[in-house]
Amino acid sequence: MEPTNIKDPEYFHKVVDCQYACPAHTPVPEYIRLIAEQKYTEAYMVNWESNVFPGILGRTCDRPCEPACRRGRVEKEPVAICRLKRVAADNKDDVKHLMPKIPTTKNGKKIAMVGAGPASLTVARDLAPQGYELHLYDEQKAGGGFMRSQIPSFRLPETVLDEEVNYILDMGVVSTFNTRVNSLAELLTKGYDAIFVGSGAPRGRDLDLPGRQEAKANIHIGIDWLASVAFEHITKIGKKVIVLGGGNTAMDCCRTARRLGGDHVKVLVRSPFAEMKASPWEKEDAAHEDIPIIDNHVPKAFIVENGKLKGMTFDRVKPVRDENGKRSLVSTGEPEVFVEADDVLIAVGQENSFPWIERNIGIEFDKWDMPVVDPTTFQSTNPKVFFGGDAAFGPKNVITAVAHGHYAAVSIDLMCRGEDITKRPSPYTNLVSTKMGVHEWSYDNQVTTDIRYKVPHAEKKMTLKDRKHEVELGFDVATGFKEAERCLNCDVQTVFTESKCIECDACVDICPTSCITFTMNEDSENDLRKHLKAPATNKSQDLYVSKTLPTARVMVKDEDVCLHCGLCAERCPTAAWDMQKYIYNTTKASKVW
């Protein structure tokens, strides 16, 4: 193999598994170290710069970083990255004075944003410090988008939401709430230099089954129902409730129903339990609140008696896979199952819908009626109109919306400066030694064997009484510290200098996880993998290959299960290995911290 080009900013970025997996590339190990040092404010700001909503995300993030976390490859469970974020948010001091200063003289450019969800708010946050005039429209009465209307208060308290939404609205954003934008064509005539569409995926799928019309008073579309609960238009539900669907919306529906009077709430889902879309922890939380999840049941009909909903019938199915592994659900042939219900919540999916965007204003739509959006610039085929968040590529999650917001803000800023928006500025990177002395590093290189700590929950009998009572209590400071210690500091990179190596094997011998091998080189990566000291089967992780050494061999390090313990560097007599902290910050329209 060719020697690894560690100058490529993505090489070491990829080694920081959590940061690489985070759509907004939050420098996770950096903030975890700050938490361990009890520098909560700094830890908060490191987050805030990247993901804009640390308090919100510390409670609700989909956490794609955790399945990616290296710790999950050396022991059972990853670091509780997400809940550590909350520790920073819960324990920080006032941060207002650390926020960017907003110029009073504006730069003369005016930007509109449709929808006040996380995508638009991120665009606003990134552009405000540059003096842009920012106009935000939302049909709801307050900012936050789905974070306000959908995510229930027992998972995300309103105070946390308000605080983080207001940091942005207070940057001089001109917001117009309770106002739906009914025509993009009209908005385009209002002299905006760019328009960002962050209107989400606001339509819940319906189920057109027999009895749907007759029983409509007791059948609710999940996301509409959750919004009505959030805005207090709905405060009650029947005692027996069926929730249809297996995603996170279904989980929020059933848990909310439990708090509004549903004593017998059941989730019925078509697919097998293990294949449900909901995150494992959401399923656990539902189970903890005595909500049975009944899988392999396909809804057939709403049963109505005397004009009133009585329940639903279901067909029992089992999953069958064809030769391509494609799954279909086949009836078991058993008799239909009847389940009683006073109310049914339909949570079987969510769609985009853009009735307010005219089709003759230069915005191309594809065959699924989705706007054609460039995945890097987030520009539509109308150069002035950008999309981001759920509106761009369908429903995802908050952190993805934030990431889109950053990209779109960079594009809008470049465009307004008259520059080519396809020429993206490179990320900020820095690689600096952590060596302080003999066996002494500026990071804590000891590796603890503690297993993942559990976040404590409030008592069920309290939380089920009040839909605003937060269920998770968050880590206390002491537990937060111990959990933070589990992080392996994957951003402290093992950097190898061929010219210094005397091939003494000391690093090979000391490495606890057998990462390092000195061997003859091979042309192909697959062949080289076969020569390594320990099985190197995880091909998603790179091999770090040196230039040829005096013995004609190369140093090969499998990045897969490196503990970043620094022992290779401690053992190397010539400092051919060094532990160097890698900083990687994605490009943003403004430097905000």
Partner 1 sequence: MSYARPKFRHPQLPKNELGYTQDYYEGSISTLCAGCGHDSISAAIVQACFENNIEPHRVAKMSGIGCSSKTPAYFLSHSHGFNSVHGRMPSVATGANMANKGLVYLGVSGDGDTASIGMGQFVHAVRRNLNMVYIVMNNGCYGLTKGQDSATADKGSKNKAGNVNDFESINLASLALELGATFVAQSFSGDKTQLVPLIKAAMKHNGFAFLNVISPCVTFNNNVGSTKSYDFVREHQEATSTFDLVPHKTEITTKYDEGTTKSVVMHDGSLIQLHKLEEKWDPQNKLSAMTALENAKNKGEILTGLIYINEQSEDLHALLNTSDTPLNKLTQDVLCPGTEKLKEINKTLR
Ligand X SMILES: Cc1cc2nc3c(=O)[nH]c(=O)nc-3n(C[C@H](O)[C@H](O)[C@H](O)COP(=O)(O)OP(=O)(O)OC[C@H]3O[C@@H](n4cnc5c(N)ncnc54)[C@H](O)[C@@H]3O)c2cc1C
Binding interface with ligand X (CB under 6 A): 60-62, 114-120, 137-140, 145-147, 150-151, 180-181, 198-200, 202, 223, 226, 248-249, 252, 350, 356, 389-391, 395-399, 401
For 183, what's the count of Cα atoms within 13 Å in the CB-facing half-sphere? 7
Q: Cβ of residue 489: shortest distance to partner 1, in angstroms?
A: 12
Partner in contact with 333, chosen from partner 1, ligand SF4, ligand X, none, beta carbon below 5 to 8 Å by kind: none
- Look at the block and give the residue holding tokens 């324990």: 91
Cα 297 to Cα 197, 286, 420: the distances in Å are: 38, 18, 53
CA atoms within 13 A on the CB side of 40: 19
β-strand partners of 294: 268
Residue 525 DSSP SS3: helix
Number of other CB atoms surrounding residue 388 within 10 Å: 32
Q: Which is nearer to ligand X, 141 or 417 (CB)?
A: 141
Rule CB under 6 A: is residue 29 a binding residue for ligand SF4? yes
State the amino acid at position 262 in one-letter form.
Answer: G
Q: Is residue 376 at the binding interface for partner 1, with CB under 8 A as the rule? A: no
Q: Contact at 8 Å (CB) between 116 and 162?
A: no
Answer for the pair 515, 562: CB distance below 8 angstroms, yes or no.
yes
Q: What CA–CA distance (Å, rounded) separates 279 from 301?
A: 28
3-state secondary structure 300-340: EEEEEECCEEEEEEEEEEEEEECCCCCEEEEECCCCCEEEE
By CB under 8 A, residue 489 contacts partner 1: no
Q: Which does 440 bind (CB under 5 to 8 A by kind): ligand SF4, partner 1, ligand X, none?
A: partner 1
Looking at beta carbons only, is 445 or 590 nearer to partner 1? Answer: 445
| Residue span binding partner 1 (CB under 8 A) among the ranges 114-122, 422-430, 472-480, 534-542 | 534-542
**HSE-CB for 555 with a 13 A CA cutoff:** 29
CB 407 to ligand X: min, Å: 13
Residue 396 binds: one of ligand SF4, partner 1, ligand X, none (C-beta under 5 to 8 A by kind): ligand X
Interaction between residue 506 and partner 1 (CB under 8 A): yes
**Using CB under 8 A, which of 65, 121, 421, 508 touches partner 1?**
508
For residue 109, count other CB atoms closer than 10 A to its CB.
19
* Structure tokens given for 369: 């009626």
**Which helix (H) or strand (E) segment is 352 a member of?**
none
- Binding status of residue 34 toward ligand SF4 by CB under 6 A: no
Of 267, 258, 252, 251, which is closest to residue 237 (Cα–Cα)?
Answer: 258
Q: Choose, by CB under 8 A, the member of 93, 440, 450, 466 that binds partner 1.
A: 440
Q: CB-wise, 31 or 196, nearer to ligand X? A: 196
Query: Considering only residues 39, 73, 205, 277, which one is a binding residue for partner 1 as defined by CB under 8 A?
Result: 73
Sign of the CA dihedral 273, 277, 280, 285?
A: negative
C-alpha 318: how far from chain center: 32
User: From the CB of 240, what's the least distance to ligand SF4, in Å?
Assistant: 43
565 sits near partner 1 (criterion: CB under 8 A): yes
- Which of 324, 449, 499, 540 lies at the binding interface for partner 1 (CB under 8 A)? 449
Smaller CB separation from ligand X, 254 or 532: 254
586 binds partner 1 (CB under 8 A): no
| Residue 70 interacting partner from partner 1, ligand X, ligand SF4, none (CB closer than 5 to 8 Å by kind) | ligand SF4
* Structure token digits, residue 500: 């210094």
211 binds, among partner 1, ligand SF4, ligand X, none (CB under 5 to 8 A by kind): none
List the single partner that 562 binds among ligand X, ligand SF4, partner 1, none, CB under 5 to 8 Å by kind. ligand SF4
For residue 20, the minimal CB distance to ligand SF4 (Å) is 9
Q: Which two tokens stand for residue 63?
A: 């956490």
Tell me if 504 contacts ligand SF4 by CB under 6 A. yes
Give yes or no for residue 81 binding ligand SF4 (CB under 6 A). Answer: yes
Please choose which of ligand X, partner 1, ligand SF4, none residue 299 contacts, taking the beta carbon within 5 to 8 angstroms, the exact cut-off set by kind: none
C-beta of residue 203 within 8 angstroms of C-beta of residue 352:
yes
User: How far is it, in rounded angstroms, from Cα 276 to Cα 538?
Assistant: 26
Tokens at 434, concatenated: 């952590």
The smaller minimum CB distance to ligand SF4, of residues 22 and 265, is found at: 22
Q: Which of 430, 424, 411 is nearest to 582 (CA)?
A: 430
Structure tokens at 520: 């003859």
Q: By CB under 6 A, is residue 506 in contact with ligand SF4?
A: yes
Kindly tell me the number of DSSP H helices and DSSP E strands found in the chain.
22, 24
Length of the chain: 593
Residue 557 CB, nearest approach to ligand SF4 (Å): 6
Which of partner 1, ligand X, ligand SF4, none does residue 151 bind to, with CB < 5 to 8 Å depending on kind? ligand X
**Nearest to 503, CA basis, from 451, 541, 549:** 549
Residue 552 token pair? 């004609």
Range in contact with partner 1 (rule: CB under 8 A) among 212-220, 261-269, 330-338, 503-511: 503-511
Number of residues that bind partner 1 (CB under 8 A): 39
From 35-43, 142-150, 461-469, 512-520, span contacting ligand SF4 (CB under 6 A): 512-520
Q: Which is nearer to partner 1, 318 or 530 (CB)?
A: 530
Contact of residue 69 among partner 1, ligand SF4, ligand X, none (CB under 5-8 Å per partner type) = ligand SF4
Tell whether residue 502 is a contact of partner 1 (CB under 8 A): yes
Query: Which one among 28, 56, 276, 339 touches ligand SF4, defined by CB under 6 A?
Result: 28
Q: Which of 165, 183, 184, 185 is nearest to 175 (CA)?
A: 165
Is the Cα torsion angle 234, 237, 243, 248 positive or negative in sign?
positive
Q: How far apart are CA 223 and CA 401, in angstroms?
A: 18
In what side-by-side order are the strands of the sheet with 194-197? Answer: 174-176, 133-137, 110-114, 194-197, 385-387
- Residue in 13, 14, 18, 342 binding ligand SF4, rule: CB under 6 A: 18
The site for partner 1 (CB under 8 A) is made up of 73-75, 436, 439-441, 444-447, 449, 502-506, 508-510, 512-515, 534-535, 537, 550-551, 561, 563, 565-567, 570-574
* Residue ranges that bind ligand SF4, judged by CB under 6 A: 16-18, 28-29, 69-71, 78-79, 81, 487-488, 490, 494, 501-507, 510-513, 515-516, 557, 562-568, 571-574, 576-577
